[in-house]
């Protein structure tokens, strides 16, 4: 049986010494209330450019939070500030309640053992075996060899690579290399796992398997995970929350299902364009030429599957679905539909009905002047 300790089993504060898990009571409740990550007003300039411009973000224990944005938005600078490789010009960064912004390099070293990192290009040592790569952080920490080997065996079992312990990275596929990277990142039992574009170099099938592994690790170990990515599919597949960063600012933050169903920021809508249904221009032109009235309808919840049928009953006329459908995100039904109304149907009546049922409605195509 695999024996993997959770993040609570062996808590290591910044001085590097193990400490017991708090006993039940007020002390334990206070410890649980402390965010694993807390950023307040973080600013980082490079020359005259603000890579981070007043970033504030809180991540609770056990959350999986996606940080998403275009290239150059500030994602890489943010992750380097979190592990102490960059120092902010202003603001504070706290890891498990400890402000790291004023720590010396020596003081940062034990704290970094509380932060695991997985990378886009794996960063494995080619001259070391899979097991030796996983054991490396523990060797640096000074753990005895027998304990290192036992821990590596546990982690390779966790990521499904026990049979590859004595193989070298050159013999592994991309997905297997990333699994080794994940095992290595977990070696020192971190409180926080940072994923820096960890699936960008992988094909879609392998990406799905890595995301499933990260979600399993999150659920089994209660590990807090921060995913830095430009791929909305990655966020949808594993994250609980998503924060959208643009020009060094967080422009949107919320549960994944909420942000995906009703994005507020223009940046979010643009990033979602590849996976969120939109009315193709050819259909827009065809409907406009026929003078048809088109409604874009967004709705979250069980009614997403039945609302169009209910609207037909309300209008006493058929409603035609021309594009869109229902997605399922975090257990929520998220509907996005484009519909046309039959000739003579009352547009205000349709919009009022849909709005009463919690839908967000936009009009496109031909809309009469008096509406």
- pLDDT tens for the 371 residues of the chain, in order: 344 444 333 333 333 333 333 444 444 444 557 899 999 999 999 998 999 999 999 999 999 999 999 988 999 899 999 988 999 999 999 999 999 998 998 899 888 889 999 988 889 999 999 999 999 999 988 999 999 999 999 999 999 999 999 999 999 999 999 999 999 999 999 999 999 988 888 898 999 999 999 999 999 999 999 999 988 888 988 999 999 999 999 999 999 999 998 899 999 988 988 788 888 888 888 887 787 778 999 999 888 889 999 999 998 888 999 999 898 888 889 999 999 887 777 889 999 999 999 999 988 654 433 33
CATH (one of 3.30.300.30, 3.50.50.60, 3.30.70.260, 3.40.50.300) for 281-365: 3.30.70.260
Q: Tell which CATH architecture fits domain 26-114+190-273.
A: 3-Layer(aba) Sandwich (3.40)
Give the residue range(s) of CATH 3.40.50.300 domains in the chain.
26-114+190-273
Phi, then psi, of 312 in degrees rounded to 5: -60, -40
In this structure, how many other beta carbons lie within 10 angstroms of the beta carbon of residue 168?
Answer: 16
Look at residue 365 in the predicted model and tell me its pLDDT. Answer: 52
Give the residue range(s) of CATH 3.30.70.260 domains in the chain.
281-365
Query: pLDDT tens-digit profile of 138-172?
Result: 998 899 999 999 999 999 999 999 999 999 999 99
CA distance 242 to 67: 6
């Amino acid at each position: 049986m695999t024996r993997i300790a959770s993040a609570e089993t062996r808590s290591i504060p910044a001085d590097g010494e193990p400490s017991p898990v708090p006993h039940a009571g007020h002390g334990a409740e206070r410890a649980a209330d402390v965010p694993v990550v807390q950023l307040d007003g973080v600013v980082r300039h490079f020359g005259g450019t603000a890579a981070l411009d007043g970033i504030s973000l809180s991540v609770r224990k056990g959350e999986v939070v996606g940080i998403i944005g275009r290239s150059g938005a500030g994602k890489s600078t943010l992750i380097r500030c979190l592990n102490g490789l960059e120092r902010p010009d202003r603001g504070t960064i706290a890891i498990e309640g400890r402000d790291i912004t004023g720590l010396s390099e020596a003081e940062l070293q034990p704290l970094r053992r509380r932060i695991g990192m997985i990378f886009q290009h794996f960063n494995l040592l080619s001259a070391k075996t899979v097991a030796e790569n996983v054991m490396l952080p523990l060797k640096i920490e000074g753990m005895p060899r027998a304990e290192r080997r036992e821990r590596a065996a546990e982690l390779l079992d966790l990521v499904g690579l026990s049979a590859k312990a004595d193989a070298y990275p050159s013999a592994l596929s991309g997905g297997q290399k990333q699994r080794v990277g994940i095992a290595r990142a977990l070696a020192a039992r971190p409180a926080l796992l940072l994923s820096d574009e960890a699936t960008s170099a992988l094909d879609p099938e392998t990406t799905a398997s890595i995301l499933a592994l990260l979600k399993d690790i999150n659920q089994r170990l209660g590990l807090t995970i921060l995913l830095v990515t430009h791929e909305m599919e990655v966020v949808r597949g594993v994250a609980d929350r998503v924060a959208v960063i643009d020009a060094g600012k967080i422009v949107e933050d919320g549960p994944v299902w909420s942000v995906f169903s009703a994005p507020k920021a223009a940046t979010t809508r643009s990033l979602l364009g590849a996976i969120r249904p939109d009315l193709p221009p050819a259909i827009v032109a065809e409907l406009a030429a026929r003078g048809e009235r088109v409604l874009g309808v967004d709705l979250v919840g069980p009614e997403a599957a039945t609302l169009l049928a209910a609207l037909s009953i309300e209008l006493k006329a058929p409603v035609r679905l021309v594009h869109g459908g229902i997605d399922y995100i975090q257990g929520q039904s998220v509907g996005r539909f484009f519909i046309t109304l039959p000739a003579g149907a009352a547009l205000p009546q349709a919009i009022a009905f849909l709005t009463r049922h919690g839908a967000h409605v936009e009009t496109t195509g031909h809309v009469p002047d008096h509406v």
